[in-house]
Amino acid sequence: MVTGKNNPKPVNTESCPQPDGFFSDRLNSIIPTSDGSVTLMGPYGETYHSTGGAVDESQHVYIECGLRHYMEQREAAGFLPKVINIFELGLGTGLNALLTYRETLRNNFPDLQINYRAVETNPLEPDIWEKMDYAQTEKEKAFFHQMHLGPWDKPFVPASGFTLIKMKENYLDLTLYDPIHVVYYDAFSPAVQPDLWTYEAIGKLIPVLKENSVLTTYSCKGSFRQALHDVGFSIEKLPGTGKKRHILRAVYGSQNSLITGVSNASMAK
């Protein structure tokens, strides 16, 4: 069995992460997933995406439940934004960035300027990301290449309405300055990166989070939900995709109550 970050029964357990090198024979190997897209084996014996479907998972968790939900909520409140700032923890393969850019290319949010910032400690080598064939069009392919090859800390504007800045830093050392409206929280799991799923880690976002900002992630770990609640989010467990039963959405500052039920109304379209 392939150990995936979203597999219900990972080989790694929280009390017993595998030592570095344990999976070195498979590190960075390309793994097929159930929706026909690929993912990558990472350094902790976890895949970068769910083996139940890499593209399906990213589209559902981050685009539909995150970005689209934020836009729909703002529109319903009568405040359709012209600019939104997205922050991603873990650029990795760049799949989430590509799917977000696809929204711009398809004009799914007319007149919206998306500023996308992603942090990454371990950039992938070209011989790896070149094998991640997520792009569907020539424009997407060009974006994917330029995103990976381009410089760090410099704005990249592939098209009007979309700006990407990638930062080669440890999230835990980062100081954020620009306001954030949408967070894609996509580190490896709490079992292998416990420091990234704590009150302290999530607290780094608080000074720059806008009221009603939306954070989504694939992990529903109870202590992380509690940490989100403690810093001022209201929390929903939503249906997942593939092998994953639930995912998490947290909205900052609106109600400050812990919601643990599953909301079918929030399923992706």
Q: Which residues bind ligand SAM (CB under 6 A)?
A: 5, 48-49, 58, 90-93, 95-96, 119-122, 170-172, 186-188, 193, 196
Measure the CA–CA gap between 220 and 61, rounded to whole angstroms: 12
Q: Which is nearer to ligand SAM, 152 or 263 (CB)?
A: 152
Q: Are 250 and 214 in contact (CB under 8 A)?
A: yes
| Burial status of residue 178 (CB atoms within 10 A of its CB: 0-12, 13-18, 19 or more) | exposed
CA pair distance 250, 215, nearest whole angstrom: 5
**Nearer Cβ to ligand SAM, position 139 or 204?**
204
| DSSP assignment string, 102-141 | HHHHTTSSTTPEEEEEEE-SSPPPHHHHTT-----SHHHH
In the complex with ligand SAM, which residue's Cβ is closer, 166 or 237?
A: 166
CB of 38 to ligand SAM, least distance (A): 11
Structural element, H or E, at residue 237: strand 233-239
User: Is the CB of residue 250 less than 8 Å from the CB of residue 215?
Assistant: yes
Closest approach, Cβ 157 to ligand SAM, in A, equals: 21
Q: Which is nearer to ligand SAM, 140 or 254 (CB)?
A: 140
Cα→Cα distances 148→94, 125, 183, 234, 261, Å? 8, 9, 21, 34, 39
CA dihedral 12, 18, 22, 24 (to 10 degrees): 70
Minimum gap (Å) between residue 70 Cβ and ligand SAM? 18
Query: Residue 150 or 253: which CB sits closer to ligand SAM?
Result: 150
Q: Which is nearer to ligand SAM, 188 or 233 (CB)?
A: 188
User: Side chain identity at 117, as an amino acid letter?
Assistant: R
Task: List the structure tokens of 5.
Answer: 């970050």
With respect to ligand SAM, which residue has the nearer C-beta, 166 or 225?
166
Beta bridge partner(s), residue 10: none
